[in-house]
Amino acid sequence: MTAESPAADTTPATGRTSTPGGGFNWAAVLFLGPAALLLTAFLIYPTVYTFFLSFNRGRGGEFSEWVGLDNWVNLFTADPNFLRLGFPPSGALWNNVLWIVFYVSLTVLLGLIIAVMTTRVRYEALLKAVVFLPQAIAATSLAIIWRFVYSPDPDTGLLNSLLGVANVGPVSLLGSPDTVNWALIAVGIWGSVGFATVILSAAIKGISSEVLEAARVDGASETQIFWRIIVPMVSLPISVVAVTLVVNVVKLFDLIFVMTAGGPGTSSRVIAYSMYFEAFPQGRFGYGAAIAMVMLLLLIPIMIFNVRRFSAERVQM
């Protein structure tokens, strides 16, 4: 993206433009100071603190009693609410896996399909705006919209009213451990497809019409064109969207908190919910710190990828 601007980036780095005499630069301190202070106090210091607290009982959020790896071992072996390996697996971490697999892939696929289909119609902008709208709305409101749709009362919930027309008895999708995660993932997809559509639509428009025309002349069907030409040609934006959605899943909280509070029981918890629940209502701060560290660890591969990409860009300039 920034390939066009190498000159602009490197020039200020030459000595010519720095303050006369070089060395210590007051301008840098003044401009960067407030940000550096806040980032150190609110991001760097807490990261170190949370790391060490994850090896501590952490009573009251303070360092109270060193417990070694207890929190970590409990988290992965003795806490079925966090992770229960077995058949079928369950727990918050497993639910995040379900979210990553189904929410990410279906959001990308639906976004791609809508992006391709809308390029052929005159009401493209309007339809994209309609699908994009949930992006602007609070997850809290989105959660209420869908609790209402899912309401088990057929005189209240649209879904059960429609099922009633088809002679299917009222179902409580959010009330059963077997369906709750799927019902939530569906809402997540509904909320994010617009994001995928907008990004992928911009990418699809970059494909030259000659390529598509040539394929049509050669007798390729629309399905073939979709899978063999469009998907490979926008694979980079697809991976960008997918990575963003994976990050969304790791940080997912508001929707779960408002729709189910992790229930019924603990069946729809995700890690961000567990972190909140263990640390704040339960007051198990050391344990909560370990969960926060798990979240950070899950994001570190993406962090490394980003840093590599940007340091490579700098060298290339």
Give the nearer residue to another protein in terms of CB position, either 85 or 137: 137
Rounded least distance, CB 106 to another protein, Å: 13
73, 216, 228, 265: which one binds another protein (CB under 8 A): 216
Q: Is 1 in the site for another protein (CB under 8 A)?
A: yes
Answer for the pair 317, 10: CB distance below 8 angstroms, yes or no: yes
- Note whether 72 binds another protein by CB under 8 A: no
Vertex 269, ends 267 and 271: CA angle to 5°? 145
Residue from 92, 198, 238, 270 touching another protein (CB under 8 A): that is: 198
Asked whether position 27 contacts another protein by CB under 8 A, the answer is yes
- Provide the minimum distance between the beta carbon of 19 and another protein in the complex, in angstroms, as a whole number: 8
Q: Considering only residues 247 through 286, tell me which ones interact with another protein, judged by CB under 8 A.
A: 247, 250-251, 253-254, 257-258, 272, 275-276, 279-280, 285
Does 77 sit near another protein (CB under 8 A)?
no
Rule CB under 8 A: say whether 223 interacts with another protein. Answer: no
* Binding of another protein by 218 (CB under 8 A): no
To the nearest whole angstrom, how small is the minimum distance from the Cβ of residue 74 to another protein? Answer: 17
> 98-117 mask for another protein (x: CB under 8 A)?
----------------x-xx
Decide if residue 208 touches another protein (CB under 8 A): yes
Residue 239 touches another protein, criterion: CB under 8 A: no
According to CB under 8 A, which residues from 126 to 185 bind another protein? Answer: 127, 129-141, 144-146, 148-149, 151, 153-156, 158, 161
- Which range binds another protein by CB under 8 A, 53-61, 82-90, 97-105, 167-175? 53-61
- Indicate the residue among 97 and 261 with the shorter CB distance to another protein: 261
